[in-house]
Structure 1
Amino acid sequence: MKGVSLDLNALSGNWESVNLNPTVIIYRDGEQYMLSIIHINETSRQASPATYEIQEDEDGYFINYNLKRTAISYDVKLDVLHLSSLGD
């Protein structure tokens, strides 16, 4: 993904998982883009959202998820958002 700039505005919205991973929402909050991950507890069916600021450096966009850098990439041909530690 290096050298390819993502258009976060175009990626804004709800992203549903193809492999039972959590739902992801990308949205703008003022000048900053945010990414929310919504986990659903299988037993209680309760949703637990967590929100992260999308950051950018020379390697691209990422969030700090569970104290780890989680890269954000997008496959234009497949229309798939990928979070490096969470799946597609």
Structure 2
Amino acid sequence: MKVEKYFDLSVLVGNWESVNLNPTIIIYRNDDDTYLISLIHMNETSKQASPATYEIQEDEDGYFISYNLKQLSVEYDARLDMLKLSSLGDYMRN
């Protein structure tokens, strides 16, 4: 997967589904021009969905979110229209 380090975050807006059965995510632009990722965790027992939202941040290595006390890189392959969150894996646009 050829990923760009920096890209226009607006290309990520929308719903993304994990190819590894990780939580579905929604990416959207906030009122203050920040971009947010909401992960939808599904409790298998209660069938309740619980969203968690993270701001996409940027440093010298590219884009990332702070997730469970770790930094997950946010990468995008424009040719395949695939999103990659480092430890959660690849996502396809839904």
TM over 0.5: yes
How big is the alpha-carbon RMSD for the aligned residues of Structure 1 and Structure 2? Answer: 1.4
Greater RCO, 1 or 2 (C-alpha within 8 Å, sep 6+): 2
Which residue pairs with 1:56 in the alignment? Answer: 58
- Taking the TM superposition and a 5 Å limit, the aligned residue runs for 1:4-83 are 4-30=5-31, 31-83=33-85
Q: How big is the shift at 1:79?
A: 1.6
- Number of equivalenced pairs: 87
Q: Distance in 2 between matches of 1:8 and 1:69?
A: 18
Q: Secondary structure at the match of 2:37?
A: strand
Question: Structure 2: which 5+ residue stretches go unaligned?
Answer: none
What's the % identity of the aligned pairs?
68
Q: TM-score under structure 2 normalisation? A: 0.84
SS at structure 2 position matched to 1:78:
coil
Normalising to structure 1: TM-score of the pair? Answer: 0.89
